[in-house]
Structure 1
Amino acid sequence: MKRSFIPYFTLIIGLLLIGISAQAQNERKFIRQGNDIFEQALNDTTKIDTTAFSQAETAYRKALEKRPDDLKWNFNLGDALYKQMKFEQATSKFEEIAEKSDDKLEKARAFHNLGNSMMMQNKLDESIDAYKNALRNNPEDLESKYNLVYAMNLKKQQEQQQQQQNQDQNKDQNKDQNQNQDQNKNQDQNKNQDQNKDQQNKDQQDQNKQQQNQDKQQQNQDKQQQQQQPQQQKISKENAERLLQALQNDEEKIQEKVKKAKAAKAQQRKTDKDW
C-alpha cells in the first residue's frame, strides 16, 4: 500500500510541563486540557474529529493569551489548526515558529509541518522548499526525506499531466485548424464553382444573346428580301410589258413593210401586164 506523506504532530507534552511554575497554573491547565483533547482525537482513528481539535485550539489560544511567544504552545496550536484543515492559518503559524526558533530540531519540525500545510494547498514548490529546509536543519529526518520525494514525484506527475493536456489541447487546436482549413477550402471550392457557374451562365447568356442577335439579323435580312422580291417582280413585269410593246410595234412595222412590199409588187405586175 502506497504511503502518504507523514506529518509531525508534535505536542511535546512532557516538555510543556517543564518550567511551568505554580504561578502559571491557569496556563498549564489550558495546555493540559488542550493536549488531552488533542490526544483523544488522534487516538480515534475512525474519523477526523474536527470538533475535538477545535476545542484543543480554543484551549491553546487561552494559554497563549498569557504567554503569546511560547513556541512550543504555538506549535501545538499549529497542529490543531492543521487537523481542522485550516491550512492557511497553520502555514502562518509554522512559518512564524521556523523563523523565530533558534533550535535546529525545532526549526526542522516546523519546516516539516509547513511543508505538509503547503502540500495540502497543492503548493508543491513551496512544500518542496520547506522539506529541504527541514533536512538542512536535521539531515537525519527520514519523514522529511520521504515527504520530499513524495512531493517531487507528485509535481512530476502533475507536470506530465499538464504536458499531456497541452498536447491534447494543441492536437484539438490543430484538428480545429484543419477543419477550418478544410471548411475554408470547401468554401473556396464552392465559391470557385459558383464563380465558374456564374461565368458559364454569363457565357451562355452571351451566346444566347449573340444567337438572338444573329436570328434577329437573319429575320431582318429575310424581311428585306421579302420586301425586295415584290419590287423585283414588279420591275420584271414592266420590262416584260415594254418588251411586248416593242415586239408589237416591230410587228406592226413589219406588217406595214410587208403590205407596202406586196402593194409595190402588185403594181409592178400590173404595169407589166399592161405591157
Structure 2
Amino acid sequence: MKNFILYMILMLSFAVSAQEKDKTLPKANDEYAEKNFVEAEANYRISHSKFPKRIVAPFNLGNAIYKQNQAAEAKFAYATALTNTKSRVQRHKVFHNLGNVFMKEKNYTNAVEAYKNGLRNKPSDEETRYNYALAKKMLKDNPPPKDDKNKDKDKDKKDDKKDGEKDKKDDKEKDKKDDKGDKDKDKKDEKPKDEGKPKPKPSPSGISKQRTENLLDAVNNEEKKIQDKVNAQKVKGKPVQTEKDW
C-alpha cells in the first residue's frame, strides 16, 4: 500500500511538472511585439534556460537577435531550435528564417540550401519558394570564387617571393656582419608599439560590450519583475514578425 501511494505521488509530480507553464515566454512575446528586442532577447534566454527542450523560445530568440542586426549570432539560436523540432511545420519555419540570415550575410550557397530544406518540409509555401528562386538567382549572379584560381594566385605569389629572396640572398650575406652590431643595438632600444596599451577583450560569443551590458541589465530587471509578478502573468498572443512566426 505504501509503495502504491509513493508511486501515485511520483506520477502526480511528473504530471504537474509536464504541465508547468512558461510564464516568461508571454512577456518576451509582448516585448518583441513592442519592438523592445533587447528585453525580449533577455526573456527568451531565461525561458530557454528553464525549458531547454522546447522550441518556441530559441526560435523567437533567433528572431529577436536578427532584429538587432546580429545575423551571425541568430544562426546559433535557430540551430538550437532546429535540434528540438518535432514536426515538418516547425522545421520549415526554422529553415526559412535560416535562409533569411544567410541572405543577409550574402552567403547565397547556404541560403539556397536552407530554403530548399524549408520547401522539403512544406512544398506549398509560396514565400519560401520565392525566396528560394531569389537566392538561386543571386548565387548565379554572384558565384563563389573557385579554388583553382586561388591556388594559382598563391603559387604565383610563392614563386615571386622565391625569386626575390634569391636575388637578395647574396647582398644580405655580404652586409650581414656589418649590420649585426647595429641590429643588436636597435633591438635593445626598440620598444613594441603596443606595449603599455591595454588591448580590448572580446565579449562572450562575439557580442559587443555595450550590447552585453544592455542584455545583462535587461536580464537582471526581468528576473526581478518575474519574481514579483510570477503568479499574475497570463499567457498572451505570439509576436507578429516579418519572418516566419511560431
Of Structure 1 and Structure 2, the greater helix share is in 1
TM-score (norm 1): 0.44
TM-score (norm 2): 0.49
